[in-house]
Amino acid sequence: MGSLDREYWRDSPERSPARRTWSVTTWLIALCVGIFAIDAFLPRTWQVVGTAWVGDPSLAEAARQGTLTYRVIPVEASPALVASVDQPVVALTPRGPETIVRQRLQSTPPIRKWLSFSTATAIYSSSPGTGFAGLEIWRFIGFQFCHADMNHLIFNMIGLFFFGPIVERFLGARRFLAFYLICGIAGAALYLLLNAAGFAVMQLSGGKPIVPGLLFNDPYTPLVGASAGIFGILIASARIVPNATVLLFFIIPMRLATLAYALVIIAVGTVILGGARSGWNAGGEAAHLGGAIAGWWLIARPEPLQGFFDFFGRAGGSFSGTGARRGAAAAVRAAERRAFEDAEVDRVLDKIKSEGIASLSETERRILKDASRR
């Protein structure tokens, strides 16, 4: 049985080819690619990605209280030519100018600078040279549509292209969009929680990362990428069609459920072991883990998705309360059963091809007969 013959790949009966429009998955890919392309042609600017207090601690405290005059030393390098620079912030004291803060500036496209997520911009930060930052809630969604480089964009879009349609057909277009955005928000929320806790531990322990599993990177470190939402989609796909075969690196065949949960295990291990190590993308993996948790929860309990975009019109279907949970769980079980039956049919057909129809047992003949009825 081909993949296009299976129920979860079919278009809804009420949608005719003449009325077919872009899917939500296609729109999401187009939006991510479009933002990346537009940003590439816009003039780059400096973005603060780290701050470090240096020098006399009493000066730092005075600067926090606003009783100290300071000056930000202008950066002469152009963000179009230099990837990153350090920018000192100098306090004017009776002893003369003294550096109190060193800011790390990174050359960044303007849209990514405005949409990227960080702990400092999400909660609160006030540092000499950067001013007030915080409560910029649009970044919980905006960061999902920005990418660090071409490789980052390509890998995320491949995942969205292959797995997004499975969940979109299962949930419907509007619920799928809500699902995707909520998984991304959950990724940012888990990153925020672990980074804020890590920053607090560092303050209390004198700069020592003594608690495994927390994120000890600078609160200004930007987070970008669609992968939190895509991890939610991947886990949801693994619950819908766990026995579907995927090709790891387009070469190695593997069950979808095996791939999905292996990636979650890698994310957990990286967060626990790599939170205090440079070179490990523990922050990104924390966002992946947050998206995966949300995806695992929502695909079996989609009632929070119902009505999320009702101001655009009815989303279709009805999910509410206990009935929603039972209906969604039954749908997941039915999809799993169909995937198992399809795998059995494929196995029997392979046997006929290699050994002939006379080699089939009575049970295998019954499998083919039931499949033909379906």
pLDDT tens figures, 185-200: 999 999 999 998 988 8
Query: What's 365's domain CATH number?
Result: 1.20.1540.10
Whether residues 333 and 323 fall in one domain: yes
Q: Which residue has the tokens 């002939």?
A: 356
State the average pLDDT for the chain. 80
Given a cut of 50, is residue 323 above it in pLDDT? Answer: no
User: What strands lie across the sheet with 45-53, from one edge to the other?
Assistant: 45-53, 96-108, 84-93, 70-72
Q: Which residue has the higher pLDDT, 122 or 281?
A: 122
Residue 13: band (very low, low, confident or very high) from pLDDT cuts 50, 70, 90: very low
Query: Both 1 and 59 in a single domain?
Result: no
Task: Specify if 339 maps to a domain.
Answer: yes
Q: Let me know if residue 122 belongs to a domain.
A: yes
82 and 230, same domain (yes or no): no
Residue range(s) defining the domain that contains residue 182: 1-42+110-126+137-374
Does some domain include residue 132? no
Answer yes or no: do 219 and 77 share one domain: no
**277, pLDDT greater than 70:** no
Q: Give tens-digit pLDDT for 22-45.
A: 899 999 999 999 999 999 999 999
Q: Do residues 24 and 36 share a domain? A: yes
Average pLDDT over residues 142-164: 94
Give the model's confidence band at 295: pLDDT under 50 very low, under 70 low, under 90 confident, else very high.
very high
Highest mean pLDDT among 126-130, 206-210, 322-326: 206-210
Distances (CA, A) of 259 to 80, 127, 166, 180, 264: 40, 43, 16, 20, 9
Same domain, yes or no: 307 and 260:
yes
Are 167 and 312 members of one domain?
Answer: yes
> Would you say residue 268 lies in a domain?
yes
Q: Could you tell me the two tokens for 198?
A: 């890590």
- 72 and 101 co-located in one domain: yes
Across 130-139, 236-245, 259-268, 301-310, least confident range: 301-310
Say if residue 55 is in the same domain as residue 172.
no
- CA pair distance 260, 246, nearest whole angstrom: 10
Residue 242 lies in a domain: yes
Q: What is the mean pLDDT of residues 352-364?
A: 71
For residue 131, is it within any domain?
A: no
Are residue 3 and residue 61 in the same domain, yes or no? no
In this structure, the answer to whether residues 89 and 184 fall within a common structural domain is no
343 vs 251, which has greater pLDDT?
A: 251
Give the number of other CB atoms < 10 A from CB of residue 351. 15
Check whether residue 18 and residue 53 sit in a common domain. Answer: no
Query: Band of the pLDDT at 245, cuts 50, 70, 90?
Result: confident
For residue 229, being part of any structural domain is answered with yes
Q: Residue 280 carries which side chain, given as an amino acid letter?
A: W
Answer whether 275's CB lies under 8 Å from 209's CB: yes
> What's the mean pLDDT in 83-87?
90
Number of domains in the chain: 2
